[in-house]
């Protein structure tokens, strides 16, 4: 599924086309997504998009009366198309803008979501109890060390828990654990302060690198097929089980941890 860098690049791609534009029409062709598209979402019609933000893997289109939350699920994508562009299969939602463009949502598996939160001072329940953003100053080695103390769960499952930190999905958890020489099955409570600091630095590094590489594809948002896949970055372990470790040369191993495939080097990661 799209991970934080893909969602952030989607935000960057949509923002210049959306901010300051009036929403002239919401066209929902298929309301049955992960949750049924709420009827109150139509309150967004006639409103000006004030900002396009991201929280975890939710995109937030803010207006004066409330905000729409968009989650891409496992197969969702957004692109910018011209008014009148015929929808393709799985193009479920169009947000028509005063500029003559549309934000189009495509989702073959329909595990994504479009939700609505009125501007009543409260936060939508899906955003409640989320941990800090990984690329902010709130996510530090000391924070991670304190959160991990006495935790028996594996460090891989711990770092992918959105209550601990948001947006560290499977690909980037694999990569940052390898870069930090931390075995993914190690109990989170065994992390030292020094390791926590190194781990946090590597998480930030790998996420920023993916966002930077994805930024080169932003022109795709103005094309009908403007879908973003995983960026062509140089992954060191993810998807490379059975291949030699780039550091020591032994074969990379794989295991299921929390129902997710995990690739690691049993020599370099302890």
Q: Is 151 annotated in some ligand binding site?
A: yes
| Mean pLDDT of all residues belonging to the chain | 93
What whole-number distance in Å separates Cα of residue 3 and Cα of residue 93? 21
Most confident of 76-85, 198-207, 230-239: 198-207
Which whole number is the average pLDDT over 11-16? 93
What integer pLDDT is reported at residue 149 of this predicted model? 97
Closest by CA to 73, choosing from 95, 105, 49, 96, is 105
Reported as a single tens digit per residue, the pLDDT across 19-64 is 999 999 999 999 999 999 999 999 999 999 999 999 999 999 999 9
Q: Is 92 annotated in some ligand binding site?
A: no
List of domains in the chain: 4-123 (3.20.190.10), 141-264 (1.10.8.50)
C-beta pairs of 81-90 under 8 Å, 24+ apart in sequence? 81/222, 81/224, 85/224, 87/29, 88/224
Inter-axis angle of helices 4-18 and 193-214, nearest 10: 40
Residue 35 contacts residue 107 (beta carbons within 8 Å): no
Which whole number is the average pLDDT over 170-194? 97
What whole-number distance in Å separates Cα of residue 226 and Cα of residue 218? 9
Q: Where are the beta strands (DSSP E) in the chain?
A: 23-28, 51-55, 58-62, 66-71, 77-82, 91-97, 101-106, 113-118, 253-257, 260-264
Share of the chain above pLDDT 90, in %: 85
Inter-axis angle of helices 193-214 and 141-148, nearest 10: 120
Residue 175 contacts residue 159 (beta carbons within 8 Å): no
Assess whether pLDDT exceeds 70 at residue 219.
no
Residues serving a catalytic function are 2-3, 57, 260
Which whole number is the average pLDDT over 210-237? 68
Closest by CA to 244, choosing from 216, 215, 267, 221, is 267
What whole-number distance in Å separates Cα of residue 224 and Cα of residue 79? 7
Predicted confidence band of residue 223 (pLDDT cuts 50, 70, 90): low
What whole-number distance in Å separates Cα of residue 35 and Cα of residue 95? 18
Which whole number is the average pLDDT over 221-237? 65
Predicted confidence band of residue 228 (pLDDT cuts 50, 70, 90): low
Residue 174 contacts residue 151 (beta carbons within 8 Å): no
Reported as a single tens digit per residue, the pLDDT across 245-269 is 999 999 999 999 999 999 999 999 9
Assess whether pLDDT exceeds 90 at residue 69.
yes
Structure tokens at 26: 């919401």
Structure tokens at 102: 């549309």
Closest by CA to 183, choosing from 67, 121, 262, 73, is 262
Structure tokens at 182: 């931390």
What integer pLDDT is reported at residue 213 of this predicted model? 81
> For residue 172, how far is the Cα from the chain centroid?
11
Predicted confidence band of residue 2 (pLDDT cuts 50, 70, 90): confident
Structure tokens at 159: 């770092």
Predicted confidence band of residue 235 (pLDDT cuts 50, 70, 90): confident
Assess whether pLDDT exceeds 70 at residue 88.
yes
DSSP state of 252: P
> For residue 73, how far is the Cα from the chain centroid?
9
Reported as a single tens digit per residue, the pLDDT across 117-168 is 999 989 999 999 999 999 999 999 999 999 999 999 999 999 999 999 999 9
Which whole number is the average pLDDT over 180-205? 98
């Amino acid at each position: 599924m799209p991970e934080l860098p893909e969602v952030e690049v989607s935000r960057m791609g949509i923002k210049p086309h959306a901010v300051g534009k009036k929403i002239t029409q919401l066209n929902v062709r298929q309301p049955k997504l992960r949750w049924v598209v709420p009827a109150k979402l139509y309150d967004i019609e006639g409103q000006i998009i004030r900002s396009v933000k991201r929280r975890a893997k939710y995109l937030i289109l803010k207006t004066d009366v409330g905000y729409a939350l968009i989650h891409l699920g496992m197969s969702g994508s957004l692109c910018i198309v011209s008014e009148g562009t015929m929808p393709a299969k799985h193009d479920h939602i169009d947000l028509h803008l005063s500029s003559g463009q549309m934000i189009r949502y495509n989702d073959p598996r329909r595990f994504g979501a479009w939700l609505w939160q009125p501007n009543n001072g409260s936060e939508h329940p899906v955003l409640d109890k989320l941990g800090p953003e990984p690329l902010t100053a709130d996510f530090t080695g000391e924070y991670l060390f304190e959160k991990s103390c006495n935790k028996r769960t594996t460090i891989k499952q711990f770092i992918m828990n959105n209550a601990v930190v948001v947006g560290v999905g499977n690909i980037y958890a694999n990569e940052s654990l390898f870069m930090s020489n931390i075995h993914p099955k190690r109990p989170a409570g065994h992390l030292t302060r020094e390791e926590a600091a190194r781990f946090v630095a590597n998480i930030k590094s790998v996420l920023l690198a993916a966002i930077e590489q994805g930024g080169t594809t932003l022109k795709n948002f103005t094309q009908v097929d403007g879908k973003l896949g995983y960026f062509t970055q140089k992954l060191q372990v993810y998807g490379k089980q059975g291949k030699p470790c780039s550091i020591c040369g032994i074969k990379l191993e794989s295991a299921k941890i929390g129902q997710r495939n995990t690739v690691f080097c049993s020599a370099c990661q302890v």
